Structure 1
Amino acid sequence: MKVRNSAAAQAAEMRAKARRGVWQRVLAALGVRTGRVRRADAVAARWEHGAAGEEATARLVAALGSQGWVIRHDLRMPGSRANLDHLLISPCGMAVVVLDSKNWHRGRTTTLVGNRVRCGTDDRHGQVEAVASYARRVSRTLNLPGVVVWPLLVIHGSPIAGGRLEARAPEWDGVVHVLGPARLVPTLAAAPKAHDPARAAAVVARVDRVLLPYVPGPRRVR
């Protein structure tokens, strides 16, 4: 499944921009990579790595569409330059899932140490706090009483200790679930089975009205 992916587009734009100009094209034809091109390629590679995780998540959650879930990808965060990787509306119209995809080191296990999420020895709790802040902003923007917003982090590559973690973030009154891809769809599919098409449609209409597709702004490559 191929979805619109601003991270991949950003990476392609970085590579292309670094190679613009007659001199850059001449050097490229000679197989020479300037410092500018090398720096752009390094940053673009990180974006492409993240984009691969987002596309893998999109393929996984597509299966939920047949169960009544409505799925949106790559939305603009109101009042921010950030984007929402994925947003899902439950069939009952009572839950919105803010889902962030990460692609971490395959050779390092993701654990919860001292109430902080780590990938190997690297502290990655900032990603937990980020998705919690996204969920908080989405909740305020939607402003739909009775609709619960769930923050969820899915990690590709790095194995999750125990298959899933329950983390906490400041100013978020609840759990941020950190899951591996194998646990993602079963966890969401286990949500309340009741379907309320009218209520769900109203939530979808609100989402589509206030959370628009993300359009990345230009970035300078130095």
Structure 2
Amino acid sequence: MTAGGSTSREAARLHAQARRGWWRQVLRWCGINTTDRRLEAAAVRQEQGSIGEQQTAILLARLPAGWTVFHDLAVPGRRFNLDHVLVPPSGLGVIVLDSKKWRRSYQGRPCLTALVGGRVHCGEQDRHEQIVKFAGYVSGAAAALGVPAGMLMPVIVVHGSPVAGDRLDVPVPAWERTVHILAADVLVATLAGMPGGRGPVKPAAVDLAARVRRTLPQCGSAA
């Protein structure tokens, strides 16, 4: 399974939409087509997202033996995808992992990912709604899998922007979730060091991985 595939396809679609049509080309030449600029900006964000997902996939390949890792999964009946889904060898639960590629700096100033007044910021930008939305995605994934919500752990890995203390634990009361935000540098060590992160593969892990494979098709597949 290829990480970032659906994000990359969405970026290509937005680029094509921004460039389609003779009149749009004229307006763009005149420098007054704001719709195209918004589409191109959205495409760039999607491209950055795809790069982040690919960087995460490289890191996840370093996990100890026994982990099952899925990339770019769809949730039937939902309009979102999951960047990465992981089952540890213990089978104690499922980690739903979202990749973010945020700016390291902006206009010469560093962009630290940190909690400001209880909300997640990257530099001066409030990114908290992205955290809340992701918690909702994880709840939707639990419902699709038919498992208790507590079996799924929401984790966000941030590339680019440093994370204060390498880790933030962010409560999302609306979803009864704590979203864990990790710096990319500590992702593998944190996952491998969690309870059940090392050791032989238990039958529960085999069953959970089979449930994920059966329930959540890869984006773009015919399943």
Deviations 1:146-196 (A, max 9, x none): 972100011111111111111100244452111110011101011223433
Quote the offset at 1:197 in angstroms: 3.9
Alpha-carbon distance in structure 2 between the residues aligned to 1:105 and 1:60? 19
Give 5+ residue unaligned stretches, structure 1. 217-222
In structure 1, distance between residues paired with 2:36 and 2:133 = 30
Alpha-carbon distance, 1:33 to partner: 8.3
Whether the 8 Å contact between 1:86 and 1:98 is mirrored in structure 2 is yes
Q: Structure 2 CA distance, aligned partners of 1:146 and 1:173?
A: 9
1:130 partnered with 2:123: no
Q: Name the residue aligned to 1:219.
A: none
Partner secondary structure for residue 63 of structure 1? coil
Gaps of 5+ in 2: 106-110
Please give the secondary structure, in 1, of the residue aligned with 2:217.
Answer: coil
Inter-partner Cα distance in structure 2 for 1:197 and 1:147: 19
SS in 1 for 2:205: helix
Structure 1: distance between partners of 2:43 and 2:120: 26
The CA distance in 2 between the partners of 1:120 and 1:20, in whole Å, is 35
The 8 Å contact of residues 142 and 152 in structure 2, kept in 1 or not, is answered as: yes
Please identify, of 130-139 and 180-189, the stretch whose mean Cα deviation from structure 2 is larger.
130-139
Matched, 1:167 2:178: no
**1:8 counterpart residue number:** 8
Whichever residue aligns with residue 101 of structure 2, its letter is N
Secondary structure of the structure 2 residue equivalent to 1:112: strand
1:92 corresponds to = 90
Normalised TM-score (structure 1): 0.83
Match of 2:140, SS state, is helix
- Please state if 1:54 is matched with 2:59: no
For residue 209 of structure 2, the aligned residue among 204, 209, 221 is 204
Q: CA RMSD in A?
A: 2.8
When residues 38 and 174 of structure 1 are mapped into structure 2, their CA distance, relative to the original with a 3 A threshold, is closer
Matches within 5 A, 1:129-208: 129-144=132-147, 148-191=151-194, 192=196, 193-208=198-213
Secondary structure of the corresponding residue to residue 10 of structure 2? helix
Contact 1:105 1:157 in 2 (8 A): yes
The structural deviation recorded for 1:39 is 4.0
Change (3 A) 1:205 1:110: same
